Chains A and B, each alone.
Chain A
Amino acid sequence: MGSYIPNSKQETEEMLRFLGLNHVDELFESIPESVKIKGLLNLPEGKSEMELRCVMGGMAEKNTVFKTVLRGAGVYNHYIPSIVKSIVSKERFITAYTPYQPEISQGILQAIFEYQSIICELTHMDASNASVYDGASAAAEAVAMCTDRRKKVLVSETAKPDSIAAIKTYSKAAGRQVVMIPSKNGVSDIDALSENLQDAACFYVEMPNFNGIIEDYEAYSSLLHEAGAKHIMGVNPISLALLKTPDELGADIAVGEGQPLGMGMNFGGPHVGFMAAKSDMVRKLPGRIVGETTDRNGKRAYVLTLQAREQHIRREKASSNICSNQALCALTAVAYVGAMGSLGLTELARQCYYKAHYAARELEKAGLEMLYPEKPFFHEFITKAPRDTDKLMEALAQEGILGGLPMEEGILWCFTEMVSKQEIGKLCAIVRKVG
């Protein structure tokens, strides 16, 4: 229908005349005639805003929005405070470009600086970048930070499948060898880790891991550092309000998926990957970084900094080709953490922990067996499969509940602040009936 072009036909003709042209086609004479499109693309006619609303709304309506979500596995259903939505829908934040001109971009630059500070505070690391695409690509980029000399990369099989997949893709491209450390009783097999340490550049492991379990990361750190290898941890940012920080656990790099910090599930994106490191690795961080400085009058100011690492300066010698961050998602995280504060975040993490532990006990009572009953977990855990998983999932769906994720070994359940005691009761009743 429209192309958002303001000019009238008359104005366009006036402009063409000014250029000494009779027809717009004359502007495209440098394109070989033989390959030009004859006529129009084979696409439908443009739609009015009212028609578009029907078409897109129709697609949205075909998706089931579950009232209760008990599925996590990398994307978590948390409450998003109203103030967060209000802040991130501000038009300037939405439409600005990367803040290349600091004099008119202090708003975004400061927000990114605040984001970096928040990530450092959550992970207790020394420095953070301005964010990358998502948690999986953050993991892959973190591996790249460690492989200047050594090319052997150790990855725990207990990590999320998408993190592992992205690490493999990036590593294969750059000629790095990925060695998987198998899972044993739900956690990384520490004997296998010890056996593979020689010439290893780094080890990637997650907290909580894909089984929901909190592993013994300190034990890995000592082994790794003795062998001169780096310890990379993929962490859930909400859990860090309650659990030991990557710094306390001896990690050199902390990365993760920032989605729980105020972003919707969004069918998997956009979300935000965070990356933070100890001070000795700051200059190896990929992507944008904002630093504090002063203007000519000595006034505090923020600016994109340490750009000598980046592609537009270093070209083929850059540490990564990344040239954007997920600025609006990073801003969402700042607004979210601003709204929650340390007190709200801590309370949130406790509620996730308590509810998941309560649900685990109740599900056990309802007849589902925990797969790893001895292991500490945060807000996810696996139960062994019931008699008929499909039937259980269907019965739950009929009550508006998206059940846990069916996996080979059982079902991976997730409980956040969004799930009430009453809903847990309803879940258990269905499990009793069907399972």
Chain B
Amino acid sequence: MKLLFEYPDHGKTLSILPELDTPMAEIPDVIRRKSPLRLPNISENELSRHFAELESQTFGVCDGFYPLGSCTMKYNPKINDEMASLKGFTDIHPLQPVSTVQGALEMMYTLERSLCEITGMDDITLQPAAGAHGEFTGILLIKAYHEKNGDTDRTEIIVPVSAHGTNPATAAMAGYKAVNAPVRDDGCVDLEALKKLVGPKTAGLMLTNPNTVGLFEKDILEISKLIHDAGGLLYYDGANLNPVMGIVRPGDMGFDVVHLNLHKTFSTPHGGGGPGSGPVGCKKLLSEFLPVPRIVKKDGSYDFDFDKEYSIGKVRSFYGNFLVNVKALSYILTLGAKGIREAAEGSVINANYMRKSLDDLYDMAYPDICMHEFVMTLERQKKEKGVSAMDFAKTMLDYRMHPPTMYFPLCVKEALMVEPTETESKQSLDEAIAVYRKIYEDVMADPEYAAKAPHKTPITRVDEVGAARNPRLRFEF
């Protein structure tokens, strides 16, 4: 594929701007750009074809099965995109007088209240732009709480070894030491080991529940008591909320603060990596620390409140990824209380159906009933035939299926993590299962062919080492 920069420069521009209708003014030489601006001037037709070609080499949820574990690649309803493109939402300035954006504030307020109900939290901020951004915000709430209490010896955040990499990275960014908690053979946090880690230095514990191997942490109430008795707080990483929404709430399990990934659980699309939205909810004891502004409702109208003495401040500009939040509210309103529960149940049924349909061939890292995702381990196949999880994953590409998440969590060797989501039909699961079974036979029969997979994609496996060793990060003229 040609790069934009490789089209011939026609030396003329599209007819987008009208002629200047005001007089010109002097532009002092001292402020003027000296370097040439080397951006291509191409035709609209070329531009249209260029992006059509780029799109053809992009795999969307519309292209097929997308069981990327922990990413919840469910169907993204089109009505939500359309609602987010209404002029009354896109063409409003964030610094308009609040009297002229009452609908926008109502949208945000309604979403906040809905998410509080779903998570069992008292208050919520929509400001964080993504999950990791939410983690950072949430941990800062915990930090602000301890600081206000003069409890400054709490310097550690405990994170299970199975956690997403963002958890320890977040703890470090917030100035904490990340302490790793071991995981038992059954995939859950080792409660006995945890007891030894918890103490006067513990600021909090970050936990994903269901956890990253797709299991519900059944000791959650003991864990919660342990952390709280030691004076720490409990942080809920909402990456895996999908299978339990409407069934159990983080707030009722004992969590004090939670972030959500609206681009996962609430179906706002991922956009190839973003924009997402990572609201942070908390119990009353942390509300005063939430970022400003807060939305308040008074006498039927809405306002922003910037005057919060103990707020952690702002983590980004304005009020978050507003249009993404419009999509999330559209989704929640469509599902309603019943649909939310159904979606959770559907995700768990689908994951278990697929797991049980494959467990005679593929080794499951944990044999129990799973939540929304399950982890397969190809360790045995690697030992026996030298084929890796990567080889299996790359072979799937030839069947126009997106592979599962590879090599995560780190506590499972040669891991493939499968999350079908609730929006796949039984028939589409049956087709995927048939492909997974065929791939198993093919890969085991011809490991060499698998090691070179994929064979039918526009490019083959790429030289990642070369890319990192000799970085070429921009078009060179």
Contact = CB atoms under 8 A, between A and B. Distances in A.
A289 B175 CA distance: 25
A95 B62 contact: yes
Given A4-B74, A19-B353, A295 B462 contact: yes
Interface centre among A12, A337, A424 (most CB of B within 10 A): A12
Contact of A40 (B246, B320, B349, B352): B246
A339 B54 contact: no
A373 interface: no
Interface in A1-29: 1-7, 11-12, 14-16, 18-19, 24, 27-29
Interface stretch (B214-222, B280-288, B379-387, B434-442): B214-222
Interface in A124-164: 124, 126-128, 130-131, 133-137, 160, 162-163
Given A3-B342, A324-B132, A324-B274, A358 B25 contact: yes
A231 B84 CA distance: 38
Contacts of A346: 37
B471 A282 contact: yes
B59 A105 contact: yes
Contact of B66 (A56, A97, A334, A345): A97
Given A52-B333, A174-B175, A166 B272 contact: no
A3 B340 contact: yes
A240 B318 CA distance: 24
A346 to B, nearest CB: 7
Nearest to A48: B334
Contact of A56 (B41, B53, B169, B326): B326
* Among all A-B residue pairs, the 5 with the closest Cβ atoms: A268-B318, A46-B336, A60-B88, A62-B103, A328-B271
Interface centre among B403, B464, B474 (most CB of A within 10 A): B474
Interface in B8-63: 9, 11-14, 16-17, 20-25, 27-28, 30-35, 37-42, 44, 47-48, 50-51, 53-63
Nearest to B291: A169
A118 B37 CA distance: 10
Contact of A63 (B102, B333, B462): B102
Interface in A378-410: 393, 397, 402, 405
Nearest to B128: A133
Interface in B127-148: 129-133, 135-136, 140, 143
B312 A37 contact: no
Interface stretch (A182-190, A222-230, A297-305): A297-305
Given A32-B220, A41-B341, A53-B83, A326 B275 contact: yes
Interface centre among B86, B91, B326 (most CB of A within 10 A): B91
Given A31-B218, A321-B166, A424-B22, A98 B454 contact: no
A122 to B, nearest CB: 7
Contacts of A272: 275
A83 interface: yes
Interface stretch (A106-114, A196-204, A364-372, A427-435): A106-114
B88 A65 contact: yes
Contacts of B9: 341
A103 B394 contact: yes
A308 B57 contact: no
Contacts, number: 663
B356 A128 contact: no
Contacts of B369: 19, 27, 29-30
Contacts of A111: 54, 272
Nearest to A343: B13
A294 to B, nearest CB: 5
Nearest to B23: A358
A45 B342 CA distance: 13
Given A40-B341, A324-B274, A345-B37, A91 B62 contact: yes
B200 interface: no
Interface string A77-117: 10101010011011111111111111111111011011011
A136 B314 contact: yes
B64 to A, nearest CB: 10
A281 interface: no
B253 interface: yes
B317 A101 contact: no
10 contacts: A63-B89, A63-B100, A91-B62, A128-B473, A269-B317, A312-B164, A314-B169, A320-B169, A342-B37, A344-B14
B273 interface: yes
B32 A335 contact: no
Given A116-B473, A118-B39, A63 B103 contact: yes
A30 B94 CA distance: 45
A62 B106 contact: yes
B346 A65 contact: no
Interface centre among A81, A108, A329 (most CB of B within 10 A): A108
B276 A103 contact: no
A245 interface: yes
Contact of B457 (A57, A64, A103, A310): A103
A165 B165 CA distance: 26
Contacts of A107: 53-58
A15 B21 contact: no
B150 interface: no
A264 B326 CA distance: 15
A293 interface: yes
Contacts of B140: 169, 173
B208 to A, nearest CB: 14
Contacts of A320: 169, 173
A316 B166 CA distance: 8
Interface in A324-364: 324-329, 331, 334-335, 337-348, 350-351, 353-355, 357-359
Given A31-B247, A128-B474, 4 more contacts: A3-B422, A41-B341, A128-B473, A243-B31
Contact of A294 (B68, B267, B343, B463): B463
A168 to B, nearest CB: 6
A322 B165 CA distance: 10
Nearest to A241: B37
B300 to A, nearest CB: 12
B415 interface: no
B335 interface: yes
Nearest to B64: A104
B1 interface: yes
A270 B323 contact: yes
